[in-house]
Amino acid sequence: MNLPSLAIGVPPYRLTGTVYGVLANDRALVERLGDSVNQPPYKAPPKAPVLYLKPRNTHAMSGSVMAMPEDIGQLALGASLALVIGRVACRVTEQDALKHVSGATLVADIKVPHESFYRPSVRFNARDGSCLIGPAVVPLEQLESIDSLQVAVTVNAECMPVSTRLVRSAARLLADVTEFMTLLPGDVLMLGVPANMPTLKSGDRFTIEADGIGRLEGALA
């Protein structure tokens, strides 16, 4: 993962791993899903985190410009805080989970708007350059509580009303994820995007900010 602007100091801060998104870790999004989580094929709300990948072709730095797909009229901008793993994390407890984290950063998770929750098509989430990360990795002890930290989003300098209320705290999410898979140094785990994602069209510019982390910037060509 070639993100030199994030390579502050030495590993474990260098982002070299896999970027994971988590579905429905926002209370408003869960409320909006309503009874649909009880429909086939699963017929019940998920008991463990539902993850998806942002593969290597999607990774980009703050300030990058994503090419607007010719077959899509608009894209959704998911703004998320994210944990950068610093130590191997396998079946960690909630109490010790954040000891395995190097720091926090911001992610712009750009995707094709879709209604599918359990089985979103790869083509919705894996467009080239659709995962901007930055502008820095900040140790958690330098931040206020990661669970109460909010992001501010602007599109074309207009403030957008987004708010995230986590279903699982950062520590609980990391503990639950590592119950069934190991996360490695350099991996990135998003905490979840809000239900009210703003949309983007060709030519739009956006920013995502959080106190103590800074400003992530991007645009669509």
Task: Point out which residues pair with 199 in neighbouring strands.
Answer: 76
pTM for the complete prediction?
0.89
Token output for 24: 């429905």
Which stretches does DSSP call E strand in 28-151? Answer: 50-54, 59-61, 64-66, 75-85, 101-111, 131-138
Per DSSP, the chain holds a count of helices (H) and strands (E) of 3, 13
Q: How far apart are CA 101 and CA 147, in angstroms?
A: 14
The per-residue pLDDT for range 114-168, each reduced to its tens digit, is 766 556 678 889 999 999 999 999 999 999 899 999 999 999 999 998 888 899 9
Q: How many domains does the chain have?
A: 1
Token output for 213: 């982390």
User: What is residue 161's predicted lDDT score, i.e. its pLDDT?
Assistant: 85
Q: How far apart are CA 26 and CA 193, in angstroms?
A: 7
CB atoms within 10 A of CB 180: 10
Domain hosting 119: range is 4-220
CATH of residue 134: 3.90.850.10
pLDDT tens digits, the chain, 221 residues: what are they?
444 344 433 444 456 789 999 988 887 766 766 676 666 666 666 677 889 999 999 999 999 999 998 888 899 999 999 999 999 999 999 999 999 999 999 999 999 987 665 566 788 899 999 999 999 999 999 998 999 999 999 999 999 988 888 999 999 999 999 999 999 999 999 999 988 889 999 999 999 999 999 999 999 99
User: What is residue 115's predicted lDDT score, i.e. its pLDDT?
Assistant: 67
CB atoms within 10 A of CB 11: 12
C-alpha 170: how far from chain center = 12
Helix (H, G, I), strand (E, B) or coil at 152: strand
Rg (CA), the chain: 16
